[in-house]
A and B are shown apart, each in its own frame.
Chain A
């Protein structure tokens, strides 16, 4: 049963067969001249999760370089298509036809990025076959991550949570550029993550445990204190990794747009550095994903390291 929804796009209703022509015309009118196109971005998910995707795709499409396709699953084999600029929406499309629609509407000869915001995993399977890159973005991602581990040979996979963790991972990695830290790391005993989003914390912990051979049992503690963390946009507030002697600390700096990194050795805190988290909007994160072509083996290792028992990373 197709859900009655408000129209995602304010654009004109267009017969499916004329979508490509309408988008090309719209782009020429909007941008004055056709610009260099770089990719198709397909957002698939329940309608309530596509509403905010509209703005993101339009922001990407405004530059005239990305074709945006929004599809919500339903039971309608021929839902009305709406076109605005270089973005098209199909609301309530019968699930088995979603991949057909993408195959017909994606730009030829350019990469297709699937922004997966939820839905039937069968649909994900079919779309992964078409997409050059799948960026997962589910509210509860564990099932999709498990399925992704089976599909990574078909398409390159990532997750917007993973993209959002890029700067956190980079700063943690910078600590490990110091030989003394690398030498001591296997004996670290605790990892504590203050998070508003358990999945992000789990992913970060899984990345660490799948990258470093910890010789001692690493106690992984994910602290969720929603009251204390309310108002933080970032999924993570602080990370502490170490043992009794030394500790590597990352934490959101005051403005919450930067991360502060510091090492503490026997209680003595080294000089800290502060780095901007960058553009954490979905459009900014997708732009970062559009720059990547290769498989993300670190991400694949991390999601494999998350145990089926509801995403708890292994503690050794």
Chain B
């Protein structure tokens, strides 16, 4: 160890953000879909941009029998399929491939972890190790226990060990608590990074900047000026190849418990005292805890579920959920959820938050819409033929990341006529350059030890505490109580009734 060496003088004024220290990324589930579609392309893009450390290696772990070379071929193939690379040799990819290794084995056998330890040593990769659990939840326990038993979960500073856990973090409150308990037996909370890829999206991060980096929005961000909030995550796709998982999950577990609760907490949170992981996550937690129970006296009246039947989406006829491959013909899994949430705190009392998410809707879009109150006095009511529309702030999360503001303007002319206009800010074009994929941002943050954009154990449990009673209430209902909606339409009539009870409407998307 070299002592008393001054800081790196060349980092002073360097424009690139600092790369993490030496890191070995160990991907459990390396032969799986997530690794191929998201993780390997994200690693390649980080490498291409020089964001990976000089000492970096990847060790893939999975049950599939494969050697290092086959894993490297899979890496190249995934780049061609999901990162837009051609078949010609790419030097960044080749350089990265030379530092990729693979070991196969059963996740519950100690021998696997002994070999992993040896491989880490062989790859000179023991400084910083980031374990990525891209595996089904049923495999979490053996892997976490295997890492702990092999002494791989801890290392004396400055070495570090971290673990990224993919959703779902449990299937209900009990299982989430059990999972957290198990993880905490082998890892400290500071070592655990529960990934929610929504938090890696630029617009979601920009919510913090938009709210707390500007002086003009926060004063109106409350019950005095905001009428209500709508958060929509609409997909056009059906269950696709995920039937085995989705049948046991449904829209409430798959989207609401994690992504939408995270987004909602960012919209509703109080200002943190600093942009640090704990401060931001504390305030998000406060917001979540302010949400009132969704089930009262056993009745989940504020939550609507439904399942899509056959219909027409994106120009093609699509089958009903129950006839999709791998789906039980009598399935009662919900593919649509809409909910009305109330936050009882000083800022939001009386301002409903409506959330909806579904598969097989007419349009793919995720957005947060903040609808402001109308002016207290409608002085243009007589002069204008059309009523004044309330101002609307829309945060587009995907596909066109950006922010739009709708407000009223006078139409040119001698008469006083009013019409809504929309001002748009688009991430993709405004600043130039590439917008990083969510997984790139989150992988890099985990390597750098920044947990701001990851879910903390108490948030996960508090979210499940809200959702689990709904699941239990639904379980008590019979199959006939599950409404259907036509694929390609915006959900069942009951979802409209949910919001119309408050004399409001879902936004036209």
Contact = CB atoms under 8 A, between A and B. Distances in A.
Nearest to A301: B13
Interface stretch (A58-66, A221-229, A306-314): A58-66
Nearest to A34: B423
Given A35-B426, A63-B432, A179-B5, A278 B49 contact: yes
A91 B495 CA distance: 62
Interface stretch (A16-24, A44-52, A95-103, A170-178): A170-178
A175 B49 CA distance: 17
B5 A183 contact: yes
A33 B10 contact: no
A179 B12 contact: no
Interface in A263-316: 271-276, 278-279, 283-284, 287-288, 290-292, 296-299
B433 A288 contact: yes
A169 interface: yes
A258 interface: yes
Contacts of B8: 173, 176-177, 182
B424 A35 contact: yes
A258 B430 contact: no
B10 A172 contact: yes
A3 interface: no
B99 interface: yes
Interface in B7-44: 8-16, 19, 21
B9 A174 contact: no
A204 B462 CA distance: 54
A253 B91 contact: yes
A2 interface: no
Interface string B432-452: 110000000000000000000
A167 interface: yes
Interface in A222-270: 253-255, 258, 260-261
A5 interface: no
Interface in A42-91: 60, 63-65
A36 B54 CA distance: 38
B5 A171 contact: no
B425 interface: yes
Given A179-B5, A297-B13, A299-B13, A276 B50 contact: yes
B54 A211 contact: no
Contacts of A35: 424-426, 429-430
A36 B426 contact: yes
B477 interface: no
A275 B8 CA distance: 20
B92 interface: yes
Contact of B50 (A180, A275, A288): A275
Centre residue among A38, A63, A179, A275 by max chain B CB count within 10 A: A275
Contacts of B471: none
A60 B432 CA distance: 8
Contacts of A179: 1-2, 5
B14 A170 contact: yes
A182 B292 CA distance: 56
B167 to A, nearest CB: 31
B346 interface: no
Q: Which 3 A-B pairs have the closest CB atoms?
A: A298-B13, A287-B432, A173-B10
